[in-house]
């Protein structure tokens, strides 16, 4: 039986460009870390669904760190659907792993929340996300952790 209802879905419905996705950007940066350290320190990105407890926790941190009127794209409760964990690995130290930061992403892709050490960042676009990653990778604590992992390989 043929439906008499019109198809209401837009014709240009499709996937977002892959280079816009936070997980793709993170995976590329993970690869680049290995190249930069001659694979003495590598990184991996693990993605999992966000739990209800994690949703509440991220909103508490956002409320504490970023006033609603300064949040790009949202001034209500942030509803992440997944979290991407950026994990450092040291193959020479029995594959030791260190969770450097987490990126909480809603179904709409942006804005994303980034939890790094005691800081919370909110990025409303790919450009803002890349800028926050640059800050995290250049942070003194990140440099110390990577340097320590490289130094311990020979011990």
Torsion of CA 138, 46, 38, 137, to 10 degrees: 0
Per residue in 96-109, pLDDT (tens digit) is: 999 999 999 998 88
- Is position 4 within any domain? no
The predicted model scores a pTM of 0.84
- Is position 6 within any domain? no
The answer to whether residue 116 scores a pLDDT higher than 80 is yes
- Is position 2 within any domain? no
Q: CA angle, corner 142, sides to 49 and 137, nearest 5?
A: 75
Domain span holding position 81: 19-152
- Is position 61 within any domain? yes
- Is position 35 within any domain? yes
Specify whether the CB–CB gap between 104 and 115 falls below 8 A.
Answer: yes
> What's the pLDDT score for residue 75?
52
- Region 65-90 average pLDDT: 78
- Is position 9 within any domain? no
- Is position 47 within any domain? yes
Domain count, the chain: 1
- Is position 98 within any domain? yes
């Amino acid at each position: 039986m043929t439906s008499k209802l019109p198809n209401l879905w837009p014709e240009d419905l499709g996937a977002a460009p892959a280079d816009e996705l936070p997980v793709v950007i993170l995976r590329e940066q993970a690869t680049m870390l290995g190249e930069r350290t001659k694979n003495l320190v590598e990184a991996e990105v693990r993605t999992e669904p966000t739990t209800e407890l994690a949703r509440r926790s991220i909103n508490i941190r956002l409320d504490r760190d970023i006033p609603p009127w300064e949040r790009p794209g949202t001034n209500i409760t942030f509803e992440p659907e997944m979290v991407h964990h950026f994990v450092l690995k040291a193959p020479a130290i029995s594959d030791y792993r260190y969770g450097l930061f987490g990126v909480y992403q809603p179904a709409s892709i942006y804005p994303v929340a980034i939890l790094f050490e005691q800081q919370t960042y909110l990025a409303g676009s790919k450009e803002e996300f890349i800028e926050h990653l640059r800050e995290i990778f250049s942070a003194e604590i990140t440099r110390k952790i990577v340097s320590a992992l490289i130094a311990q390989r020979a011990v």
